[in-house]
Amino acid sequence: MTYRTRVGAVVLAAVLLVTGAGVAQADNLEDLQSQREANKTEQERLSSELEGTDASLQTVYLELTRLEGEIPIAQAELDQAEEDLAAAERHQTSVTDRLTVAETEAGTLTIEIEDSKTQIASTEDGIGELARSTHRGGDGFTALRVVLDANSPEEFATRTSAVNSAMRSQGQVLDELETTAATQRNSQSRLDAVNVRIGELKIEADEAVVAADDARVDAQSHRDELASLKEQEGAKKTELEGYKDSIEVQQQEIAADNATLDAEIQAIFEAQAAERARQAEEKRKADEAAAAEAAAAAEAERQRQAEAAANRPTNAPAPAPAPAPAPAPPASTGGSGLIPPVPAPFHVTSPFGMRIYPMNGGRYMHNGTDIRSACGNAQVSAGNGTVVGVRPARGNGTHGNQVLIDHGVINGDSYVSVYNHLSRFAVSNGQSISQGAVLGYTGMTGAVTGCHVHVEVWRNGTPINPENLPGWNRSN
């Protein structure tokens, strides 16, 4: 920071403190910072809502919304800068006025001192002349001699009155001389103090000029910034107009991609159901065969025991009955409850549910939950299962790099989880995976503009909100 800037900042801060504007500015700056943070969060939400649209369209729209968020902030900063400029100019005017008053007072005091000097010099000259006249008159020329040389009582009285008057005048002149000298000393002291104040005010005036100039430059900078933002906003609006015809087409593409994924997941659930039916049929046949075998064995045992009883002496003990078969173990539930792909605490940028398309107000279903995550962060499997899909971004529509995991049956329901936009994979198709094992890494492949987690959970062929699952807790 230069000396000029430091001086301007110090003076401006002092002015704002005196006027009370400093506290208001602090509050405004805090509000503006909060607004910027809110704008960032809104940009994140919009980025998720634009998921699936053309990347360049997303960029234009997000830039437009960023500019629309920045313009009121820039306007508020300009308003504050102009208030600061007005305060600095008022302070500069105040200092200049006080300097003018002080310089006028110094000029008046200087004239008074010069007049006092002239008056003192004149009085001193008069007293000197009187002293010289008395000296020239000799030792005999005294007030007493003047009185005693009178030739009559009347002349004596007259001479006595004249001498007394002369003595009073001389004393008055001396008193006035002392008074004038005292006035001069007082005026000189006041002049010295005023000159000191003038020096201080000149420094303050120079600093006020610097502060006002800096405030003026700052205000102009904010004016230029606001004008630039508005110009950019207009350009982005014009650019966005060129995409409007393609928005409906892109929404249809998103719907088609989602329908394809839906069909694939339905096929997984159908395969699960078919496999469960096959296993149930195999179990039924095995159970029937086991039951028939057990019945045959029981019949053979019954016949053997009957024959033995016929050949046994009448007092022989009966054989012990065959032990009951052990109960079958309970069916596996496929593991514990599902968990989120990133550790808590985490921030959901766009929840599961119906969305309103920001550019044309169209409504569509967001089957996933978007979570804030930096590029390259590991994502883990929601539960135990089998990887049934590892699809690269190329040819996979808006989803980008994608992993599908079949978790089988959990507490009587079939589950599949889906992970989109991965930067790279950590699994291969067909492999088994455990809950919490890394399946891939956060990225921004597909039709998105920023890295984030997109996870979907499907139960019995229907997408559900995973945040309602017991294992999903944002704060743990």
Residue 304, domain member (yes or no): no
pLDDT at position 157, please? 66
CATH number at residue 392: 2.70.70.10
Cβ atoms of residues 9 and 46 within 8 Å? no
What's the CA gap between 218 and 87, in Å, rounded?
13
| Residue-number span of the structural domain to which 424 is assigned | 348-468
Q: Which of 224, 242, 260 is the last residue of a domain?
A: 242
pLDDT at position 361, please? 64
Residue 410, domain member (yes or no): yes
- Going from the C-alpha of 397 to that of each of 4, 82, 402, 414, 421, the distances in angstroms are 59, 51, 10, 26, 11
pLDDT at position 185, please? 84
Residue 233, domain member (yes or no): yes
Residue 354, domain member (yes or no): yes
Is the whole model's pTM more than 0.75, yes or no? Answer: no
Are 11 and 151 in a shared domain? yes
pLDDT at position 388, please? 94
Q: Which of 173, 208, 242 is the last residue of a domain?
A: 242
The total domain count for the chain is 2
Residue 78, domain member (yes or no): yes
Are 227 and 355 in a shared domain? no
In this structure, what is the dihedral angle of CA atoms 263, 269, 275, 278, given to the nearest 10 degrees? -90
What's the CA gap between 353 and 365, in Å, rounded?
6
Are 168 and 34 in a shared domain? yes
Residue 249, domain member (yes or no): no
pLDDT at position 102, please? 86
pLDDT at position 25, please? 41
What's the CA gap between 212 and 413, in Å, rounded?
73
Helix (H, G, I), strand (E, B) or coil at 231: helix
pLDDT per residue as tens, the chain (476 positions):
433 333 333 233 333 333 333 333 435 656 766 776 776 666 666 665 566 556 677 677 778 888 888 888 888 888 888 888 888 889 889 988 988 998 898 888 888 888 878 877 777 766 666 666 555 554 444 555 555 565 666 666 675 666 566 556 666 767 776 787 787 788 788 888 888 888 888 888 888 888 888 888 988 998 898 899 888 888 888 877 776 666 666 666 767 777 777 788 888 878 877 877 888 888 888 888 888 888 888 888 888 888 787 776 655 555 555 555 544 444 444 445 899 999 988 999 888 988 766 566 667 788 899 999 999 999 999 999 999 999 999 988 888 999 999 999 898 899 999 999 999 999 999 999 999 999 999 999 987 878 999 999 999 989 999 999 988 876 65
Residue 224, domain member (yes or no): yes
Q: Which of 223, 242, 261 is the last residue of a domain?
A: 242
Residue 220, domain member (yes or no): yes
CATH number at residue 108: 1.10.287
